[in-house]
């Protein structure tokens, strides 16, 4: 089994990561999902949802350099994911 201290992950963008980085990102995604679900249960949607969730998410992860705009997009994507309406590109046969 590989040594976790030596394990590296090469993401599609961003810096090379280690196990701690992956754990931090997982926590970020779980916080994003939890906060978005809570706001949805409160009846919030669209811009109002992003406006409420974004500052809470950023407060939980103050060391992350994510803009309000980028965080708001992630909230909207999570909202779509939770609603089952998120679209993804579907490869078309040539």
What pLDDT digit, counting tens, does each position of 26-73 carry?
999 999 999 999 999 999 999 999 999 999 999 999 998 888 999 999
pLDDT band of 1, cuts 50, 70, 90 = low
pLDDT at position 14, please?
82
pLDDT at position 92, please?
64
The reported pTM is 0.83
Q: Over the range 26-41, which residues count as b (16 or more CB within 10 Å of their CB) and which as e?
A: eebeebbeebbeebbe
- Sequence-separated (6 or more) residues with CB below 8 Å from residue 66: 58, 74
Q: Pick the more confident residue, 92 or 41.
A: 41
């Amino acid at each position: 089994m590989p040594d976790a201290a030596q394990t590296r992950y090469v993401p599609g963008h961003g810096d090379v990561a280690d196990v701690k980085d992956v754990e931090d990102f997982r926590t970020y995604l779980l916080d994003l999902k939890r906060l978005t679900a809570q706001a949805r249960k409160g009846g919030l949607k669209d811009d109002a949802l992003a406006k409420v969730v974004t500052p809470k998410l950023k407060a939980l992860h103050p060391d992350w350099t994510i803009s309000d705009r980028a965080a708001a997009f992630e909230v909207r994507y999570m909202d779509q994911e939770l609603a089952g309406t998120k679209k993804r590109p579907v490869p078309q046969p040539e």
